[in-house]
Structure 1
Amino acid sequence: MHKNGRAIIKTEKLPIKLWLKEEQMDEGALQQARNLANLPFAFKHIAIMPDTHQGYGMPIGAILATKGVIIPNAVGVDIGCGMCSLRTNLTEIDTDDLKEIIKIIRETIPVGFNRHKTAQDPAWMPEVTGNLPIVTQEYDNALYQIGTLGSGNHFIEIQQGSDGYIWIMVHSGSRNIGFTVANHYHAIAQELNQAAGEDIANDLAFLPESSKYFTLYKNEMDYCLEFALANRTLMMERVKTAFTQVIPEVEFADFINKPHNFAAEEEHFGETVIVHRKGATRARKGEWGMIPGSQGTRSFLVKGKGEAQSFQSCAHGAGRIMSRAQARKQLDVRTEVKALKEQGILHAIRSRKDLDEAPGSYKDIDEVMDNQKDLVDIQIELQPLAVVKG
């Protein structure tokens, strides 16, 4: 047990430290955590956050530190996916105004697989410097995708803060440019590992520091992180415009940005390592972060405590309790919609196909927050008022 009485799995090469009970992990995520703990280049231990669930190769809500290698799938296909938040000077908002703002947002920000009909101003794009072959290849397409939400669990949410103010939160990533970079270098990693006779599962294929592809991937990943931030920033500008059109006197402040799919060289336990966070947020001491619930539950603005055992990390959200297919099959549209209506939330559930993002498909956010009291301090609680989903 670690200091908070939570489980440490000690059956593998490295310990697995859990910020939830072992029995709360789905079997797929648990096996993936065991696979990580047996990697020959994994460092110190594996940290599993309370929002964890099965991913591809590595669980969502996991932190893996490595020595001398980087693993594309331990970052994931949505490189730089994350959240940003912005405070308005409004203390309340009329329902009719809220509906009009959401209408304008839907008109100006493409969602799902949609993209802009015209290329956006290249000034929004991060500058391309150095050798970035995939970024260069995808750059023109990205001009049509910057400022778009994407699908899955991505959202734009207008929220009432416990500080008395109306907040805006946006969750999105690097769109197709990040997806293409991730898949390209994962395929190269598989080829390199097979050629070298490495006994590593294909979905955890790695790029060694000695390979030119290590640096290429890292540089392209870093660009995708910048693109994901630019994507969220442009969307936030469009949301600000929507607010201003409806409420001209509105003002904005306190922009916060946090990615949760990335790898970075950091110092931990006295050594320089590459920390892979997949569905996990960095939480250095005093560092601001965001932990959203679902479109029917609270989100939280937090400050990190810099806990060493989690590699200075925390959860990135509530985490799924059902797969998307399970949610569509098992949840009831009327029940989910009724709960949202009772809270007065302008929600995004229209039919059974939307149930994969219903509140019932997610873990209890209060339990998730309780399980990571040693990782973050809650600063502001945010209650959803209106939601646009991907």
Structure 2
Amino acid sequence: MKKFDLGRIPIKSWADEVEDEALQQAVNLANLPFAYSHIALMADVHVGFGMPIGGVLASKGVIIPNAVGVDIGCGIIAAKTDIKNINIEQIENIVDKAHKTIPLGYKHHKKPREWKGFDNPPNSKVVLEELEAARYQLGTLGGGNHFMTMEQGSDGHIWLMVHSGSRNFGYKIANYYNKIANEINKATKLSPSKQDLAGLYIDSKEGQEYFVAMNYALEFAKENREQLLEQFYTIFREETDSHKILQKIGIHHNYAAIETHFREEVIVHRKGAIRAESGELGIIPGSMGTPSYIVEGLGNEESFRTCSHGAGRVMSRKMANKLITREMADKAMEGIVHKGWRGDLSEAPMAYKDIEEVIANQKDLVKPVVKLTPLGVVKG
């Protein structure tokens, strides 16, 4: 862990290097009057909107919509199956069927989906407006870096992973309350206007409304992954002799929560970071073509009991499409079943940091439990 004294409170980083723009965003966080103790940067840190991805902010009395981000509740569910062997034909069939039957990208289900959360939504204008559309978005993957994969575990078992979030729900909630926060910030001046870090007092009407809506989006995102996993596992079971899932692990990596740290109650914002309480299992994915890890948290207070949410990007999507060739991307994915790039190379493995270095840099935060090697990938 490295320490930077560049703002009102220190910045503590577990990354080998922090790009200048991401470091400046961390300094902006450190200078907020309500920021508490220190800012923590995870090993996968890179620049985001307002707050760096892989950043952790603890605040006193203020919640920042943009410090959670637009994909509220984005996270991963990993499932250990009872299968230990799978052949290339089975992998190809599963990937093909998943592409044909599970809505990817902008596609939605043609019939509304069931979820008990639809019966009791919070009294938030933006949630209520989005409720009907959400019934068709539930159980859909989305695009960007969202994925479903089959992985060979170092424990001998085949694992399934799903990475997705709250779909349009989280996006609409984030933008709606960030706009409100910006308006309020003109009077409160809680943060400089040009830093995209406008906050809401947590005990205000608007702050409470956002907090409740955000938690609703977290539950929606969790249910979304569960339903995606159910669809994916159904296809997997049809192609293999699998009878059951032996273990499931689920985590969020974009959210804010009220927690106690250093004997103070604070609001911990994790943007592209996961909770790593002592003994708690988490998931740190690499990329489409590199390993991922099931990890066990060590409860390190210096990181606010947090670790990285993945490998972290080393280049933007625009830069990746400029610098990476199809040949380079195909070579990096040799032996892994996937459906090609469709003109977008931004998720190629070399667009991400070395996952082994990222894991090594946070050995005081987590310990690896199972190494997962990709076999087949379904990407939004």
Matching residue within 240, 253, 256 for 2:233? 240
Task: Find the counterpart in structure 2 of residue 373 from structure 1.
Answer: 363
- Is the aligned partner of 1:66 residue 2:59? yes
Q: Separation in 2 of the partners of 1:300 and 1:278?
A: 19
Q: Separation in 2 of the partners of 1:373 and 1:248?
A: 37
Q: Separation in 2 of the partners of 1:208 and 1:219?
A: 14
Alignment of 1:61-140 (within 5 A): 61-120=54-113, 122-123=114-115, 125=117, 127-140=119-132
Task: Find the counterpart in structure 2 of residue 383 from structure 1.
Answer: 373
- Is the aligned partner of 1:354 residue 2:344? yes
- CA-CA distance at 1:127 after TM superposition: 4.3
Cα separation, partners in 2 of 1:17 and 1:234, compared to 1, 3 Å: same
- CA-CA distance at 1:124 after TM superposition: 6.0
- CA-CA distance at 1:192 after TM superposition: 0.3
Q: Name the SS for the 2:333 alignment partner.
A: helix
- CA-CA distance at 1:197 after TM superposition: 4.2
Q: Separation in 2 of the partners of 1:55 and 1:36?
A: 13
Q: Separation in 1 of the partners of 2:14 and 2:320?
A: 25
| Gaps in structure 1 of 5+ consecutive residues | 1-5
Cα separation, partners in 2 of 1:239 and 1:40, compared to 1, 3 Å: same
Q: Separation in 1 of the partners of 2:178 and 2:124?
A: 16
Q: Which moved more, 1:308-317 or 1:143-152?
A: 143-152
Q: Separation in 1 of the partners of 2:341 and 2:267?
A: 42
Alignment of 1:304-383 (within 5 A): 304-341=297-334, 344-351=335-342, 353-383=343-373
1:125 touches 1:230 (CA, 8 Å); kept in 2?
Answer: no
Letter in 2 for 1:317: G
Length-normalised TM-score, structure 1? 0.94
Q: Name the SS for the 1:57 alignment partner.
A: coil
Letter in 2 for 1:380: V
Cα separation, partners in 2 of 1:125 and 1:16, compared to 1, 3 Å: same
- Is the aligned partner of 1:36 residue 2:35? no
Alignment of 1:229-308 (within 5 A): 229-308=222-301
Q: Separation in 2 of the partners of 1:246 and 1:298?
A: 24
Task: Find the counterpart in structure 2 of residue 176 from structure 1.
Answer: 168
Cα separation, partners in 2 of 1:63 and 1:199, compared to 1, 3 Å: closer
Cα separation, partners in 2 of 1:97 and 1:215, compared to 1, 3 Å: same
Task: Find the counterpart in structure 1 of residue 156 from structure 2.
Answer: 164
Q: Deviations over 1:246-302 (max 9, x none)?
A: 225432121111000000000000000000000000000000000000111100000
Q: Which moved more, 1:214-223 or 1:243-252?
A: 243-252
Q: Separation in 2 of the partners of 1:198 and 1:338?
A: 49
Q: Deviations over 1:59-117 (max 9, x none)?
A: 00000000010000000000000000001111110111111111221122111122122
Cα separation, partners in 2 of 1:153 and 1:190, compared to 1, 3 Å: same
| Gaps in structure 2 of 5+ consecutive residues | none
Q: Separation in 2 of the partners of 1:257 and 1:362?
A: 23
Q: Separation in 2 of the partners of 1:319 and 1:199?
A: 27
- CA-CA distance at 1:142 after TM superposition: 0.4
- CA-CA distance at 1:195 after TM superposition: 2.7
Q: Separation in 2 of the partners of 1:227 and 1:20?
A: 32
Q: Deviations over 1:165-218 (max 9, x none)?
A: 000000000000110000000000000011334452341000013420111000
Q: Separation in 2 of the partners of 1:210 and 1:249?
A: 49
Cα separation, partners in 2 of 1:313 and 1:197, compared to 1, 3 Å: closer
Cα separation, partners in 2 of 1:124 and 1:345, compared to 1, 3 Å: farther
Q: State the superposition RMSD in angstroms.
A: 1.3
Letter in 1 for 2:346: D
Q: Name the SS for the 1:51 alignment partner.
A: strand
Cα separation, partners in 2 of 1:126 and 1:51, compared to 1, 3 Å: farther
- CA-CA distance at 1:119 after TM superposition: 1.8
Following TM superposition, the consecutive aligned residue runs of length 4 or more in structure 1 with deviations greater than 6 angstroms are none
Q: Separation in 2 of the partners of 1:377 and 1:199?
A: 37
Q: Name the SS for the 1:117 alignment partner.
A: coil
Q: Separation in 2 of the partners of 1:149 and 1:125?
A: 19
Length-normalised TM-score, structure 2? 0.97
- CA-CA distance at 1:118 after TM superposition: 2.3
Q: Deviations over 1:120-162 (max 9, x none)?
A: 2x23645424423322211110011111111111110100000
Q: Name the SS for the 1:346 alignment partner.
A: coil
Task: Find the counterpart in structure 2 of residue 3 from structure 1.
Answer: none
Cα separation, partners in 2 of 1:383 and 1:126, compared to 1, 3 Å: farther
- Is the aligned partner of 1:226 residue 2:244? no
